[in-house]
Structure 1
Amino acid sequence: MKRITFYLDFISPYAMLAFEKLPEALKGLSYSVDLRPVLFGALLKHHGQLGPAEIGSKRDWTYRQVTWLGHANGVPIDMPAAHPFNPLPHLRLALACGEDGLINRYVAETVFRHVWRGGADAADAQRLAELAGQLNPKRDPEGDAVKGELKSNTAQAIAQGVFGVPALVVDDKIFWGFDSLPMLRAWLEGDAWFEAHWDRAAQRPVGVQRARS
């Protein structure tokens, strides 16, 4: 049985789509999934990147595309009232319901749907309090242990080469994005393409580097 580490942040609509469709995408295969919340913003900072929502025209396209992808894939999805928002309360609340940096599928589904269904404000204090009441965490979301687990998960993801979410890691291979689910399935099925092309595709010299101000 293959073990997949699924790195996610509730701020990402692509992570929500991948989470919702993963069971269908891997139907019939033998695998287990570790759901590990990470702070997407910390990944961006580490790699010196802007998020999609920080580039005006890309932001517009992202919101249009994810709404379309939900429609096309039968996944109800509504943009929250404001985006991006601060996802730390959501990440810490989810981790407070789990242990050792892991959360279960019910918790992940509940938080994702809090954010991505109904079009309400994901960061509204009253809604967050209601979400906490629904999940009934066994630990303090603001406790040092929970905060430490989020930092540890994020550091682990960075150490493995993760640069964005959703990222699904198995056998030291990173499958990034909602659209990588068919590729992940192919790997789990033993597709011969990987032996011939996975390493070779990345073995290219850098032709030119853009100067950074």
Structure 2
Amino acid sequence: MKTIHFYLDFISPYAWLAFDALPQALQGISVRVVHKPVVFGAMLQHHGQLGPAEIPAKRDWTYRQVQWQARAQDTPLQLPASHPFNSLGLLRLATACDPAGEPNRFVCDKIFRHVWCSGQEAANAERLAALSADLVPAADVGSAEVKQRLKDNTDEAIALNLFGVPSFVVDGQVFWGNDALPMLRAYLLGDPWFGSDDWTAVGGLPVGIQRKT
């Protein structure tokens, strides 16, 4: 049985769309999914990038697109009261729900819905406290151990050269974005295209010009 490592941050609407669509994408395939909460902002910083919601015109398009995609795939989605927001509290909560920092699908679903199905402030302290009491009442979400596990997940993602969420890693192959789910399914079903130069040789394509920063 293959294992898919699913790197996610609850701040991303695309991660929610991918999470909700994943069971259908994997239907009929025997596979294990491991959820890895990561700090998307740290990944962006490592690669010197801005997030979609940090570029004004792209921000507007992102919210329009994700609402359209949610409607198309029949996923509930209501934009939070403000976005982007500080997702560290939610990430630490998810991490605290598992000794290895790998929360199960039930936990991730509860947190994603807290963000993307309520229309409320995702990082509101009272809402976060209520969610914590529901999911893991005895855990110290702010402990050094929880923070370290989340950092380890994020460092692992960066070491894998991941640049965004959602990212799925299986057999060392990376599939990025909710729109990559059909590719992921095809790979798991043994599509021979993934052994062709179209997949394997792209890293050797010469760079024609580089912008000065």
Which bracket does the TM-score occupy, shorter chain normalised? over 0.9
Give 2:106's aligned residue. Answer: 106
Give 1:203 deviation, angstroms. Answer: 2.1
Structure 2 residue 67 is the aligned partner of structure 1 residue 46? no
1:120-162 deviation line (CA, Å, top 9, x unaligned): 1111111111111211244211000000001000000111111
Give 1:201 deviation, angstroms. Answer: 2.8
Dislocated runs of 4+, deviation >6 Å: none
> RMSD of aligned C-alpha atoms?
0.8
Give 2:185's aligned residue. Answer: 185
Structure 2 residue 207 is the aligned partner of structure 1 residue 206? yes
- Give the secondary-structure state (helix, strand or coil) at the position aligned to 2:201: helix
Give 1:172's aligned residue. Answer: 172
Structure 1: runs of 5 or more not aligned: none
**Structure 2 matches for 1:1-213, cutoff 5 A?**
1-196=1-196, 197-212=198-213
Contact kept, 8 Å, 1:97 with 1:137, in 2: the verdict is: no
Higher mean displacement: 99-108 or 199-208: 199-208
Q: Which one-letter code corresponds to 1:204 in the other structure? A: L
Contact kept, 8 Å, 1:93 with 1:137, in 2: the verdict is: no
Residue identity over aligned pairs, in percent, reads 57
- Give the secondary-structure state (helix, strand or coil) at the position aligned to 2:169: strand
Higher mean displacement: 197-206 or 186-195: 197-206
1:2-52 deviation line (CA, Å, top 9, x unaligned): 100000000000001111110101100011011010000000000000000
2: CA distance, partners of 1:127 / 1:92:
15
1:44-64 deviation line (CA, Å, top 9, x unaligned): 000000000000000000000
Number of residues of Structure 1 aligned to a counterpart in Structure 2? 212
Q: Compute the TM-score of the two structures, normalised by the length of structure 2.
A: 0.98
Contact kept, 8 Å, 1:97 with 1:138, in 2: the verdict is: no
Give 1:202 deviation, angstroms. Answer: 3.0
